[in-house]
């Protein structure tokens, strides 16, 4: 049985078609989109009521519309379909038609297409603009000379006024072209700046995640070379190296989840727990003396840089609580530095604010980077870490007394301290790093609490 669809049933389809019309129109070639304008000008110019009602310069007497007049109208109107594809050809053909229209006295409204063609040339002509302008000026002078011979004559002021009107139309098109080019350049620069900022952010994250753990592993491995005569201590040191490596892998996985959350899948070690016996099961390895430290595999990995937003719970990527900074999260850093042979005195005053924004994370990064540098450049030096929480800010101070030895590591690039300064500055705080009077090195930071993440 055939179903009859009434007018009301066709309305949704009609609405969809109307919504898609602009998109389909933009997909057409520019020549096809300019054809309606050319046809509209042609239809209006061929109407008898508009004959001899167009542009008139030179004082040439009116002439009855005939086949030659129709040819002049076609030359002036149809080339508008090429005004964006071939602007020079468009201007040339329209100018020839306009010259015939004025010299023969038809004076049709098709003469208004000349300013349109010049506007289009100014807006879309990318090359030979100067040569095209000179050629048009020469052609205009020839037209003026011819009109002076066949017409009753016009004052020079009228020719100049008409020329300035044409130049104004071309000038508007040129301004539009420059504006469009400036917008394209602005978008390109924004894209380049965005890419550069993203690369800088990724490099900073990798530096934070990798450098700290790898430095601790290198220092611990160097110490293990001298513990062959003490198997128990050697086993503890090698276990510490393994734990540090696993934490580094976990941190890298969390970082990759932040950069590409859609790639995260359960069962790849990103769920916040590991296989028992690998040092990441939530309790410390026997004999390590770290029963008071946080669950291995979290600590550093649960902290992320300001500006990152964890995926919503239940969606792709790690759970939000796995990425947020933990209260008192400085202890794993201190314990890791101690296990690497760095004597660290840790003092924390005050109670961390419940909503400190990104300040807690930035303070964590300051302590992390300062302890990493202490291991690299002042291994064995007495190191003090002081963190003070107040209602409005977090103050961090990490210093070494300079009595230790430099570890056998390649010199740093300075990216770590520069990244810390940038992070603190973003939150409106103060950061300093340098030698003190006693020859040690001190890193200080004042970070306003409650800054937006």
Q: Reply yes or no on whether the pLDDT at 48 is more than 80.
A: yes
- Per-residue pLDDT, 190: 95
450: left (phi over 0), alpha (psi -120 to 50) or beta: left
Higher local confidence (pLDDT), 211 or 122:
122
Q: Mean pLDDT, to the nearest integer, of 9-19?
A: 76
CB within 8 A of 17, min separation 6: which ones?
Answer: none
Confidence bin at 39 (pLDDT 50/70/90): very high
- Helix 212-224 and helix 359-377: axis angle, to 10°? 30
Beta bridge partners of 434: 442
Please compute the mean of the pLDDT values over residues 258-281 and round it to a whole number. Answer: 48
CB atoms within 10 A of CB 263: 11
Tens digit of each residue's pLDDT (9 = 90 or more) over 270-294:
444 433 333 343 333 333 334 333 3
Over residues 214-237, the mean pLDDT reads 73
CA atoms of 311 and 377, how far apart (whole Å) = 38
**Element (H or E) spanning 415, and its range?**
helix 415-426
pLDDT tier, 238 (very low <50, low <70, confident <90, very high otherwise): confident
Contact 387, 367 (CB under 8 A): yes
Closest listed residue to residue 330, CA positions, set 283, 273, 401, 387 = 387
Query: Which residue in 297, 299, 242, 310 sits closest to 269, CA to CA?
Result: 297
Nearest of 283, 282, 265, 264 to residue 273 by alpha carbon: 282
Q: Is the pLDDT of residue 309 over 60?
A: no
Closest of 307, 306, 308 to residue 320, by C-alpha: 308
Element (H, E) at 125: none
Higher pLDDT, 407 or 226: 226
DSSP 175-223: HHHHHHHHHHHHHHHHHHHHHHHHHHHHHHHHIIIIIHHHHHHHHHHHH
∠ CA 303-370-380 to the nearest 5 degrees? 125
Average pLDDT, the chain: 78
Name the pLDDT band for 444 (thresholds 50, 70, 90). Answer: very high
């Amino acid at each position: 049985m055939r179903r009859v669809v009434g007018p009301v049933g066709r309305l949704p389809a009609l609405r969809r078609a109307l919504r898609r019309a602009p998109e389909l129109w933009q997909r057409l070639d520019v020549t096809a989109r300019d054809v309606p304008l050319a046809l509209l000008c042609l239809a209006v110019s061929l109407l008898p009521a508009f004959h001899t009602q167009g542009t008139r310069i030179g004082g040439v007497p009116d002439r009855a519309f005939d086949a030659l007049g129709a040819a002049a109208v076609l030359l002036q109107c149809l080339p508008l379909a090429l005004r964006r594809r071939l602007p020079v050809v468009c201007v040339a053909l329209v100018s020839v038609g306009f010259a015939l229209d004025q010299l023969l006295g038809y004076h049709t409204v098709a003469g208004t297409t000349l300013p349109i063609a010049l506007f289009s040339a100014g807006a879309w002509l990318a090359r030979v603009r100067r040569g095209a302008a000179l050629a048009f000026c020469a052609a205009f002078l020839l037209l003026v000379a011819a009109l002076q011979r066949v017409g009753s004559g016009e004052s020079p002021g009228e020719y100049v006024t008409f020329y300035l009107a044409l130049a104004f139309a071309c000038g508007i098109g040129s301004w539009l072209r420059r504006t469009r080019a400036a917008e394209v350049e602005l978008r390109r620069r924004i894209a380049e700046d965005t890419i550069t900022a993203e690369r800088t952010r990724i490099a900073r994250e990798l530096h934070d995640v990798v450098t700290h753990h790898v430095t601790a592993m290198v220092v611990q491995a160097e110490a293990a070379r001298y513990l062959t005569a003490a198997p128990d201590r050697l086993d503890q040191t090698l276990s510490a190296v393994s734990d540090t490596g696993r934490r580094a892998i976990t941190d890298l996985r969390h970082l990759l989840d932040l950069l590409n959350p859609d790639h995260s899948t359960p069962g790849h070690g990103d769920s916040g727990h590991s296989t028992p016996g690998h040092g990441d099961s939530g309790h410390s390895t026997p004999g390590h003396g770290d029963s008071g430290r946080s669950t291995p595999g979290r600590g550093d990995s649960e902290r992320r840089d300001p500006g990152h937003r964890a995926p919503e719970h239940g969606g792709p990527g790690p759970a939000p609580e796995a990425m947020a900074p933990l209260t008192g999260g400085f202890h794993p850093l201190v314990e890791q530095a101690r296990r690497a042979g760095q004597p660290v005195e840790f003092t924390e005053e005050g109670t961390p604010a419940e909503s400190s924004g990104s300040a807690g994370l930035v303070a964590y990064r300051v302590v992390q980077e300062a302890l990493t540098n202490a291991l690299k450049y002042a291994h064995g030096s007495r190191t003090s870490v002081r963190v003070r929480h107040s209602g409005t800010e977090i103050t961090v101070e990490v210093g070494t007394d300079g009595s230790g030895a430099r570890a056998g590591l390649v010199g740093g690039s300075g990216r770590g301290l520069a990244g810390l300064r940038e992070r603190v500055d973003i939150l409106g705080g103060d950061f300093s790093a340098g030698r003190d009077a006693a020859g040690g090195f001190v890193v200080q930071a004042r970070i306003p609490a409650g800054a937006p993440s």
